[in-house]
Amino acid sequence: MEENQVQGGGDRAGVSTRSVEIAVALILFGVGALVVYDSYRLGSKWGTDGPQSGYFPFYIGLLICIASFVTMTQAIRNPSLAGKPFVLWGPFKRVLTVLVPAVIYVLAVKFVGLYIASAIYIAVFMVWLGGYSWWKSVVVGFVINALFFLMFEVWFKVPLFKGVLNPLGFLGY
């Protein structure tokens, strides 16, 4: 059996659980070290009037570093994690079918705003993953976001982000 095949499944394995745990532990250790460094720079001691501004963040960063070190040590010392796949490519592709459009949606919000991007996002997902017809998907996406627009902008008077291009600017909101 090939090294990148999982027994009985035939689905190609991705990265090992051990590699992912070590990588995440190193990233979190870096974040914790940054918090410790910046908290120390701000003042992480006890002053005459109580704790300085970096006192509590310093210890939180220190706890993050310690937890990351323990996680990394456990991952290195556990050889059974080396052969265990973190995720198989088949399920990972299914995750990406939702993750990639979600990232595109977040980027679209920046330019066309929450309402237009959400209407497109709902319509595309209904067609792509739900198998609905285009006209039903467009109607549902439009109606849902028109209701949200009425609810937030008109009734609650809470303006939501309309994007850099502001395609709804003609409505006066």
pLDDT band at 81 (very low <50, low <70, confident <90, very high): confident
96, amino acid identity: L
- Following DSSP, what letter does each residue of 119-172 receive, concatenated? HHHHHHHHHHTT---HHHHHHHHHHHHHHHHIIIIIIS--PPP--SS-TTGGGT
Q: Which of 83, 104, 127 is the last residue of a domain?
A: 83
- The mean pLDDT value for 2-24 works out to 72
Residue 76 near residue 69, CB atoms below 8 Å: no
Mean pLDDT of the chain: 91
Residue 1: predicted pLDDT:
40
Q: Total structural domains in the chain?
A: 2
Q: Which of 83, 102, 120 is the last residue of a domain?
A: 83
> pTM, whole model, 2 decimals?
0.66
pLDDT in tens, 117-140: 999 999 999 999 999 999 999 999
**Structural domain range at position 108:** 89-171
